Amino acid sequence: MSHWGQMVQNSFIMRFYGVFVIGLICMASAMADQIAFVRATEQEDQQVCVLDVETGALTQVGPGKRDGRPVWSPDGSLLAFDTQTESGMGICVARPDGSELRYVSSTSGWRRGPRWSADGKMLAYTVHGESALDVRVGVCDIESGTEQIWPKNGETPMLHPVWMPGMRLLYALRPGQDVQWDAGTAEGLEWLQTGGVLLAIGIRQAGGKPTTDLYVVTSENAAPLPEWVMPSPGNYTEWAAEPSPDGWCIAWESDDGGDREVFVLNKKGAFDLSNDRSSDWNPCWSPDAEWVAFESFRSGRRGIYRAYVGTARVSPVAVTPGADNWSPSWAPDGRRIAFVSDRTGNPEIYVANAKGRDVRQLTGNGNLNFAPAWRPTEDAE
Amino acid sequence: MKGRVYLTYRLAVLAAVVVAFSAEARNPDGTLGLIITPNNGVPAIVAPGGQFDIVLRQRADLELLNGNAGPALETDWAKLPGGRMRARCTVSADAKPGTYVVQATTGETSDTNKRAVFVCEKFPAYYVVAHLTDTHIGSNRHERPAADIFRDAIGAVNATEAAFVVISGDLTENGRMEQFSAFMAILDECRLPTFVCPGNHDRQALNYESVFGPLTYGFLFGKDGYVVFDTKDFLTADDLDAQNAELEILREAIKPCRWSIGVTHRYEPAQSMRSQLILYIDDPLDHLMFGHWHVFHENDPRIAPWQTTPMTMTPATVNGYVRLYDISDKEVRPREPQRVAQTELPKPPPAEDAGQEAEDAGQEAEDGGPDAEDGEEE
């Protein structure tokens, strides 16, 4: 090949790759700027939609039958949510363009609150039985559609499961410590090395009343987080557990201390992250695992705050006199937060930078808009 | 949930624009006009010199009227989200006990809400609450129209020593506007303040909100605090997390009260863990009044799985029942439900057995009647 020919070929290859790279950047950018949410038009008409943050283009994704809070698969290619079936609620997945909508769980009974495994192959959710305390964790392989109850022979009622990115946190805390699980005592933590691991809310009886604990759940076993890793001994009601994206921390809320607070457990132990006399709820990790956004009533109404995990310093993100702000969702770059606010009198989706500035209203179509979930990008995983 | 109310407000504002000047109560179709609360389903009870709030779609001149006159009001205005206005009103110390109409007047519009404000001489330490539920106006569950049964129940509570009435949802059979209108026509026969909340049967577009306003609200009666809340739409109330802030704020507001009492249509523990954390676990209510199930099943685990708040289910008023509660320093004590209305009409007897049939029908009513709804779940 001539020198000229080589140059032409190189130029072609460079252009090809240039276009390819630009295409990838555009795709990543487009993915980063999409938010799934629930749009409600009437009392039971709630539909999962996807909104393009820049253009405002709206795509209807869910069937619109009491669709619940959407959650993105880790690679951002699928959405999962619960929606109404003929006999209750089931778990659906769909592409963000609304295609390939299908039930992946049984459509009989009540299944709610899906959460993706890190590899995007499984969903965990709550399976509701006939009575209030008849709740179990269901795990579904979305390709085969097979469902298992985790743990297989567990007796503790469980709900609100979320996948742990790994168990290195517990290993770091106390390697070799015996753990009491449903069927006895496990030596060390080897029983956790059986595949996927979930964190769930377990219900147990204490003094004749139900209370909740954070449980580690596998396909075979379940065990409450040992008392030695909790903030203090006692019967407190734990809720809304969220592992950090890097798997090194767990954030959750508890009434330990007298009112509802957001706590964090890391390898140094557990501490009160939000620490205020008013209620603090619903922790939500930033992608870099350095911040936790949460809801708090410290201003009198519900507002969104963020706390730096390293120092527990709290600063406001969205606080509006006389109105509520809730449901924070971090952008994959960690620089922006989407949330719901009723500051105009109607619940709408907003976005602000992580410091609460540059607030922009994204919806305003006369509907009621809830539960924003920012689409992840692969490079953010 | 609150968002729906706002949407209703906006729709109703739109409706109000097209309504010509009128001093009639509400809009012609029965929906709320300029004044949102208080109204005949969400009234204010106040002692002389006390305060209550009026929420309006826009600022207006306000009066309390009983006949052509009423006590003076001092108002302190604040803006609310959605363009609404709140007037914190102080009733004059010489206000006479009685039932008052709230009248709001702007340059173009006048609106009145009947049975909206009740001035009581003072709040007693001991009082009685009447609980009605599941009136199902518009239903054909019995040979007697539900409206007639409800009228009997209202007549019965009018004859009691109750301080006020709570009606915990399923006010109507299908949530149709004509059913709400029929409900209100009978409601207004009550001499007592009447607090309502929605039930699953009231779910029809935004009709409930357009007629009574907020789905979730609180009120004080003397030393006691009440939170009245919606359980008809669990998904929005829980997963989408719209109602929970209101519950938390109301719960926090009545924390210092002697008794904190919840009123809702149904108790469904599997539906809203957040609301349970707020109301039954972190700071448990002292009592919950609810309905929905129509018949007794107090051993049913659906009623009180967390076992932190005593809960009392009252059987359906459409089946003829009303329950009274004694509220004192010592306790919140539910009395046995009373059968106050006959639900079935005696069948026309054959001429030759007329006397005996009538006697049998009377005995059946005394026995509580043959509730064909045993096991009924609404």
Predicted confidence pLDDT, tens digits, chain A (381 residues): 444 445 445 555 555 555 454 444 444 444 559 999 999 875 668 899 999 999 999 999 999 988 999 999 999 999 999 998 888 889 999 999 999 999 988 777 889 999 999 999 999 999 988 777 789 999 999 998 899 999 988 889 999 999 998 777 877 766 555 555 554 555 555 656 556 899 999 998 887 778 899 999 989 888 888 887 888 888 899 999 999 999 999 999 999 988 999 999 998 889 999 999 999 999 999 999 999 999 999 999 999 999 999 999 999 999 999 999 999 999 999 999 999 999 998 899 999 999 999 999 999 978 889 999 999 986 544
CB contact under 8 A, B81 and A344: yes
Is the alpha carbon torsion for A22, A23, A25, A29 positive or negative? positive
Q: Which of A82, A253, A279, A344 to probe the B interface (max B CBs under 10 A)?
A: A279
With contact defined as beta carbons under 8 Å apart, do A125 and A138 qualify? yes
CB contact under 8 A, B281 and A237: yes
Mean pLDDT of chain B: 84
A250 part of contact set with chain B, CB < 8 Å: no
Report the C-alpha gap between A228 and A210 in whole angstroms: 21
Give the closest of B242, B245, B306 to A370, CB-based. B242
Annotate B332-362 with DSSP letters as a single string: EEEPPPEE-S--SPPPPPPGGGHHHHHHHHH
Q: Nearest CA of chain B to the CA of A81: how many Å?
A: 11
pLDDT at position A2: 44
Structure tokens at A360: 């922009």
Structure tokens at B101: 């109409």
With contact defined as beta carbons under 8 Å apart, do B100 and B70 qualify? yes
Q: For B175-213, write each residue's pLDDT tens digit.
A: 999 999 999 999 999 999 999 999 989 988 889 999 999
For chain B, where are the alpha helices, taking DSSP H only? 2-18, 146-158, 177-187, 207-212, 234-237, 244-253, 273-276, 354-366
> Which of A168, A234, A243, A235 is CA-nearest to residue A203?
A235
Measured between CA atoms, the residue of chain A closest to residue B244 is A302
Amino acid at A232: S
Within 10 Å of residue A192's Cβ, how many Cβ atoms?
22
Least confident of A206-215, B30-39, B130-139, B317-326: A206-215
Give the closest of A113, A128, A209 to B306, CB-based. A209
pLDDT at position A8: 44
Residue limits of CATH 2.60.40 in chain B: 2-119
B252-263 mean pLDDT: 96
Amino acid at A104: V
Chain B residues near residue A82 by CB distance under 8 angstroms? 239
Q: What is the largest CA-CA distance in chain B?
A: 72
Report the C-alpha gap between A379 and A211 in whole angstroms: 40
Report the C-alpha gap between B12 and B15 in whole angstroms: 5
Q: For B347-370, write each residue's pLDDT tens digit.
A: 666 655 444 444 443 333 333 333
Alpha carbon separation from B150 to B47, B134, B230 (Å, rounded):
29, 10, 22
pLDDT at position B102: 96
A337 Cβ partners below 8 Å, 6+ apart? A293, A304, A306, A317, A318, A328, A329, A330, A331, A351, A352, A353, A354
CB contact under 8 A, B6 and A346: yes
- Does B92 or A133 have the greater pLDDT score? B92
Q: Nearest CA of chain A to the CA of B158: how many Å?
A: 34
Least confident of B34-48, B303-317, B318-332: B303-317
Which residues lie across from B37 on neighbouring strands? B55
pLDDT at position B3: 46
Which residues lie across from A199 on neighbouring strands? A162, A216
Q: What number of C-beta contacts closer than 8 Å exist between A and B?
A: 130
Residues from B contacting A (CB-CB < 8 Å) are 2-4, 6-7, 9-10, 78-84, 203-206, 233, 235-236, 239-242, 245, 248-249, 252, 269-270, 273-274, 277-278, 281-282, 301-302, 305-308
Q: What is the largest CA-CA distance in chain A?
A: 88
Phi-psi region of A100 (alpha: psi -120 to 50; beta: other; left: phi over 0): left
Which residue shows structure tokens 């987080």? A225
Which residues lie across from A93 on neighbouring strands? A80, A102
Structure tokens at B231: 């359980």
pLDDT at position A45: 80
Report the C-alpha gap between B119 and B98 in whole angstroms: 5
Question: No. of H helices and E strands in chain A?
Answer: 2, 30
Alpha carbon separation from A378 to A19, A285, B187, B333 (Å, rounded):
19, 17, 60, 60
Chain B residues near residue A282 by CB distance under 8 angstroms? 241
Instruction: Sort strands B287-290 and B311-313 into parallel, antiparallel or unpaired.
Output: parallel
Can you tell me whether residue B363 is helix, strand or coil?
Answer: helix
Q: Nearest CA of chain B to the CA of A100: how many Å?
A: 24
Phi/psi for B309 (5° steps) reads -120, 125
Within 10 Å of residue A9's Cβ, how many Cβ atoms?
11
With contact defined as beta carbons under 8 Å apart, do A346 and A14 qualify? no
- Split at pLDDT 50, 70, 90, the class of B18 is very low
Q: For B94-147, write each residue's pLDDT tens digit.
A: 999 999 999 999 987 899 999 999 999 999 999 999 999 999 999 988 889 999
Report the C-alpha gap between A136 and A144 in whole angstroms: 21
pLDDT at position A15: 55
Q: Nearest CA of chain B to the CA of A287: how many Å?
A: 22
Give the closest of A159, A260, A345 to B81, CB-based. A345
Chain A residues near residue B301 by CB distance under 8 angstroms? 131-133
> Which of B106, B85, B97, B89 is CA-nearest to residue B16?
B106
CB contact under 8 A, A297 and B248: yes
Chain A residues near residue B273 by CB distance under 8 angstroms? 159-160, 239
Least confident of A272-276, B67-71, B170-174: B67-71
A39 part of contact set with chain B, CB < 8 Å: no
CB contact under 8 A, A135 and B302: no
Q: Nearest CA of chain B to the CA of A109: how many Å?
A: 13
Question: Under CATH, to which class is B127-339 assigned?
Answer: alpha beta
Within 10 Å of residue A271's Cβ, how many Cβ atoms?
13
A47 Cβ partners below 8 Å, 6+ apart? A38, A39, A40, A41, A60, A61, A62, A63, A64, A67
Give the closest of B6, B274, B277 to A345, CB-based. B6
CB contact under 8 A, A301 and B203: no
With contact defined as beta carbons under 8 Å apart, do B152 and B158 qualify? no
Measured between CA atoms, the residue of chain B closest to residue A348 is B3
With contact defined as beta carbons under 8 Å apart, do A75 and A58 qualify? no
| Range B63-72 burial, b when 16+ CB lie within 10 A, else e | bbebeeebbe
Report the C-alpha gap between B242 and B265 in whole angstroms: 18
Report the C-alpha gap between B19 and A56 in whole angstroms: 36
Residue limits of CATH 3.60.21.10 in chain B: 127-339
Chain A residues near residue B239 by CB distance under 8 angstroms? 68-69, 82, 112-113, 371
Annotate B170-217 with DSSP letters as a single string: --BSS--HHHHHHHHHHHTT-SS-EEEE--GGG-STTHHHHHH--SSE
| Range A293-322 burial, b when 16+ CB lie within 10 A, else e | bbbbbbeebbbbbbbebeeeebeebbbbee
CB contact under 8 A, B249 and A209: no
A299 part of contact set with chain B, CB < 8 Å: no
Structure tokens at B20: 């010509």
CB contact under 8 A, A343 and B3: no
Q: For B228-242, write each residue's pLDDT tens digit.
A: 998 755 555 566 778
CB contact under 8 A, B277 and A237: yes
Structure tokens at A259: 């009112």
Alpha carbon separation from A80 to A73, A74, A131, A150, B24 (Å, rounded):
7, 11, 26, 19, 51
pLDDT at position B359: 45
pLDDT at position B350: 64
Percentage helix, strand, coil for chain A under 3-state DSSP, each rounded to 5: 10, 45, 45
Question: Above 50 in pLDDT, residue B324?
Answer: yes
Question: Under CATH, to which class is B2-119 assigned?
Answer: mainly beta
pLDDT at position A261: 96
